[in-house]
Amino acid sequence: MAKQTVKDLDVQGKKVIVRVDFNVPLKDGVITNDNRIMAALPTINYLIENGAKVILMSHLGKVNHKDAEKTEADKKKNNMAPVAVRLGEVVDTKVSFVDATKGEVLEAAINELQNGEIVLMQNTRYEKGESKNDAELGAYWASLGELFVSDAFGSVHRAHASTVGIPTHLSSACGFLVEKEVSMLAKAVDTPARPFVAIIGGAKVSDKIAVVDNLLKKADKVIIGGGMAYTFMAAQGLAIGNSLVEADKVELAKEYLAKAGDKLVLPIDNVVADAFSNDANIKVVPNGAIEDGWMGLDIGPKSIELFKETLQGAKTVVWNGPMGVFELSNFASGTLEVCKAISNLPGATTVIGGGDSAAAAIQLGFKEKFTHISTGGGASLEYMEGKVLPGIAIIQEK
């Protein structure tokens, strides 16, 4: 990786601003999953051990700044205080939480930091200028520290004040999490061992069209599953009943089918239901036999076998998006079986690009079976599209 990493910085006694991804799920002020906090610990602990004064910044949820009442409600709901409590339990140092994003109280807490201690600032999105990458805000936040470390992979695709504004003014580096994410995605997408198979699922073609486009140029096979497959089936003139379809993307799907040839692998049968429910009537039908009133909610057993055959011998697999409505147990089989097939490939580099597929793999008990599960759905998706990630582009080269 050509970018500086935290090990390239002399952090001893320095005030180091770290943009972390502490956007954890909260229910009634209680953290329901602390994975993102745990993922940041290697960088945080390295800085503590090397005598840095650590200033942590993160966003949490969304804050509506257009309506005063909604702004206050969102701030209350997305308060970082519970994160500070949890962080204090998992690091071996003093953690001070400052319920402010600007001002004398924050500045005083930072100036009082001893080497190896932490200040966690309030949610960056409390500031209206954060998501606009307000130049003044970025400059102010940069003035609070001496060095900047980018370790929020889930936010590097956004040009915000805390991801791009701060490193415009400070010497910068990637943290261990961002370094690992970028090196794993680069290895899988840019310099893959072959055969390279990409699996793209999820509901909408429109969300993934740029990914399909980029991966068709790079992969040996691109498997399509999930709701987006029905737009491709519609493009083939097949009956899809009441299945999800993006009518305005059918012509585009036709173009892909024409230019991709046998590189594009689609399902050949479907688990269909007469309602979007676990209690619906269910049957398996081949492509083209989905009647009106029925919808495809998972790939069928023959499709599972076809996808397994396509994966055989693969040395690199990138997966983004489930094969069906895995949240409903009756339609989780396709995602589960594909998960199993990928996890059993001998000697392959297997990467899940965040989002729903990462949630599915973890939920189904496959967390340890993949080479890498990305922590950033949107960021990994944009990397797979071949886009520049602004929060990484801004970081200094070695």
Just list the catalytic residues.
36, 204, 355, 378
Residues 118-135 have pLDDT tens digits of 999 999 999 999 999 999
Q: Which of 280-294, 300-314, 368-382 has the weakest average pLDDT?
A: 368-382
Residues 223-265 have pLDDT tens digits of 999 999 999 999 999 999 999 999 999 999 999 999 998 999 9
Q: Is the pLDDT confidence value at 188 over 70?
A: yes
- Range 190-215 average pLDDT: 90
Give pLDDT, residue 203: 83
Give pLDDT, residue 260: 92
Give the pLDDT band of residue 396 (cuts 50, 70, 90): very high
Q: Is the pLDDT confidence value at 136 over 60?
A: yes
- Range 330-340 average pLDDT: 94
Element (H, E) at 200: strand 196-200
Q: Is the pLDDT confidence value at 79 over 90?
A: yes
Residues 64-73 have pLDDT tens digits of 999 999 999 9
Q: Which CATH architecture has domain 6-177?
A: 3-Layer(aba) Sandwich (3.40)
Write down the domain spans for the chain.
6-177, 185-384
Retrieve residue 120's tokens: 């966690």
Do domains 6-177 and 185-384 share one topology? The answer is yes
The β-bridge relationship of strands 372-373 and 349-352 is parallel
Retrieve residue 243's tokens: 């299945």
Look-up: residue for tokens 């509901």? Answer: 203
Q: Are 65 and 36 in contact (CB under 8 A)?
A: no
What CATH number belongs to 185-384?
Answer: 3.40.50.1260
Sign (positive/negative) of CA torsion 313, 315, 321, 327? positive
Give pLDDT, residue 1: 54
Residue 28 buriedness (CB in 10 A; 0-12 / 13-18 / 19+): exposed
